[in-house]
Amino acid sequence: MIQNNKNTNVVDMEALEAIIGFNFKDKNHLLSAITHRSYLNEHREAKQDHNERLEFLGDAVLELVITDYLFHKYSNKPEGELTAIRAALVNTVSLSSASESLGINPFLLMSKGEARDTGRARQYILANAYEAIVGSLYVDQGYGSAKDFIAKTLFDRTADIVEKRLWQDAKSRFQELSQEHVGVTPTYQTLNQEGPDHDRVFTVGVFLGKQKVTEGRGRSKQEAEQVAAMEAVKVKKWAD
């Protein structure tokens, strides 16, 4: 996926375009979408931008596409339920999973430090890259191509979310299961926050008593708590 050429990492753009399913008019749009800010700190010779602006744009396009899709697919569901389903479909876990399924991970351009991290931090980078790819498609080819990409990679995840009621508030679900299985109410603690004010990332731990069950990351404390609760159900193997 990445070829070494005189100490400069060169991405196999044709291979990347093949897994995304689109040929870009300006391949720099796609190259920027997979470039993490940390990569540019180590590679001053790189000419492309990092992906944060494209991620910002892609986030807005993604929300519109998913909202339109859910509005027409579930014509009888109330606004509150549609909002919860949308949140479950576009959260960090879902988007990073979509990126991994496509095979985006080997193409990511990151610093050596970021590249060594395969945990929650990588999950967040993968989710951001997905949004940046949506943004790059919108810039390069317009709304239609961005929508087609989202439809191909996310729409089929909706049925599972609805059927298994994964859209339900994860904190409430984990609390019910915790009280049922161990008679303890979970607590949440902010473990870390990083990034600038406009792009802050929170890491929250979920605890049963003094025992930390797992962690979650998100762009707000509330999102991080939801991710932590969702992961905690899996860790404890309390899922239906």
Candidate list 52, 55, 59, 215, residue with the active-site label = 59
Confirm whether 131 is a catalytic residue. Answer: yes
Confirm whether 59 is a catalytic residue. Answer: yes
Tell me the CA distances in angstroms from 27 to 37, 122, 127, one per residue in order: 18, 24, 20
Give the integer Cα–Cα distance in Å for 236 and 232.
Answer: 6
Which pairing describes strands 201-208 and 211-218: parallel, antiparallel, or unpaired?
Answer: antiparallel
Candidate list 131, 215, 225, 231, residue with the active-site label = 131
Give the integer Cα–Cα distance in Å for 223 and 229.
Answer: 10
Q: Does residue 174 contact residue 232 with C-beta atoms inside 8 Å?
A: yes
Give the integer Cα–Cα distance in Å for 188 and 30.
Answer: 38
Q: Does residue 206 contact residue 214 with C-beta atoms inside 8 Å?
A: yes
State the catalytic residues.
59, 131
